[in-house]
Amino acid sequence: MATLTGPARLFRVDRGTWVRYETAGGLGSAVLVTMGAYAILAFDRFGIQGLLAPRATVRILLIGFYGWLWLAGAAWLVGRLVLATQAPFVTVFRLYGFAHLPLLVVAITIQVVSVAFRILGPSLAVALFSVLVWMPALLVSASRQAFELDTRPAFLVAAGPYLLWLAVVGGLLTAQLGHLL
């Protein structure tokens, strides 16, 4: 079986993957993953016109950035106040940025399958799986690494902030991108 290398390792949920991204100091890479996903989602919604009238595109990017900030901040507070862990906020912020990888896959799938080929079913299936299963699994893995926890406490750290993110950011993005799915 072939092994994944580099950023492709993020597709895996194992703890060893997250050790590398915690110690690599890759906040810039986390920004690229997160903001890249929201930028492609904005392009999916507004196309080339979004570049000519950037107000709506910037709005989606800000929704994404603030969603990432609140998601990581809430998880950090839960870990710090409820479980009394000592993880630095920047570590949680960085790892939760990498956990946005499923949104990047959703954005690319929407662009390729829904927009280019006008096929709706596969995009919806990929979007639902990515946002409802894969992203929470990556958030739990990121929490395990950032807070040095077992799976159950890491789930408790990630669950509340994820549900809040899903309600706020997911609702805003669905309102913006629902016509594509």
**Distances from the Cα of 142 to the Cαs of 7, 16, 57, 139, 145, in angstroms?**
15, 11, 28, 5, 5
Per-residue confidence (pLDDT) for residue 114, from 0 to 100: 65
Mean pLDDT, the chain, as a whole number?
75
Q: What is the reported pTM?
A: 0.76
Residue 154's identity, in one-letter code, is A
Instruction: For residue range 145-176, list pLDDT tens digits in order.
Output: 888 888 899 999 999 898 888 888 877 766 65
Instruction: For residue range 84-98, list pLDDT tens digits in order.
Output: 888 888 888 888 888
Shortest CA distance to 91 belongs to which of 20, 173, 175, 177? 20
Shortest CA distance to 94 belongs to which of 68, 118, 119? 68
Measured in residues, the chain has a length of 181
Shortest CA distance to 35 belongs to which of 97, 128, 102? 97
Instruction: For residue range 41-59, list pLDDT tens digits in order.
Output: 777 666 666 666 677 778 7
